[in-house]
Amino acid sequence: MTSATRRSSRRSTLTAEERRRQIEAEAARRAAARALSLDREHEGMPWYAIFTNPLCERRVELGLIGIGLCAYVPEGRRWFKPRRSPHYVERLRPAMPRYVFVAYPDRRRPDIRSVDGVAGVVGMGRYGAPVLIHESTIADMRAAQDMGALDFGRDPTLKFDVNDPVEVTSGLIQGQSGRIVRCNNANEVTIDLGWISAMPVVSVDVLRRVA
């Protein structure tokens, strides 16, 4: 029986409430580890790509952070509607399956191959030299993730979409028109009015589509 099958078997014995608590605990543990990883980052760090075993991205991420390194797993949001529920549930999923990005915050070079779930380091050339990834590439991926560019489809709970032309119907900028540049969540969007550099965040309740 594969590890993925064993995980699936264990999950099937849990109640919905137990599974929800398990997911929340795992998310809290990842959030704490990621905060620690971000605290270690500094300008000029070299980044590398790690190739993992199937479904091991987050295990590898936690393992790398646990041995004192910095790690990043690009993620996208995915939505699904549980059976017998009228509401959608949002979950984060790795956007680049089997890849984790790692950086060394100091001179130590622990053996990353000892981390459970690591298949190898992405390399090139005759001797497989590790591919160096500039920190700006990591920053671009994080920005894309924040903008929703890595999401698996469109949020079904959103009333509007990026590039929708809208008019503000209430508040300090009532009557102003612009285009949506970002859907922050189901309740708020960022719009570009075109005549000021600042892009206000507006409630969807005070917007209407215009031609």
3-state SS track over 194-210: CCCCCCCEEEHHHEEEC
Domain locations along the chain: 14-146, 165-209
Q: How far lies 101's CA from each of 13, 43, 109, in Å?
A: 34, 16, 15
Q: Which CATH number applies to 14-146?
A: 3.30.70.940
Pairing state between β 188-192 and 129-130:
unpaired
Q: What was the pLDDT predicted at 15?
A: 85
DSSP secondary structure string for all residues of 3-47: HHHHHHHHHHTS-HHHHHHHHHHHHHHHHHHHHHHHHH--TT--E
Q: What was the pLDDT predicted at 33?
A: 97
Q: What was the pLDDT predicted at 115?
A: 97
Q: Which residue has the tokens 């509607």?
A: 81
Q: What was the pLDDT predicted at 129?
A: 92
Q: Which CATH number applies to 165-209?
A: 2.30.30.30
Per-residue pLDDT 10s for the chain (211 aa) are 444 544 555 556 888 788 889 989 999 999 999 999 999 999 999 999 999 999 999 999 999 999 999 999 999 999 988 888 888 888 899 999 999 999 999 988 899 999 999 999 999 988 889 999 999 999 999 999 988 889 998 788 778 888 999 999 988 899 999 999 988 887 899 999 998 888 999 999 899 988 7
Q: Which residue has the tokens 């295990």?
A: 59
Q: What was the pLDDT predicted at 10?
A: 53
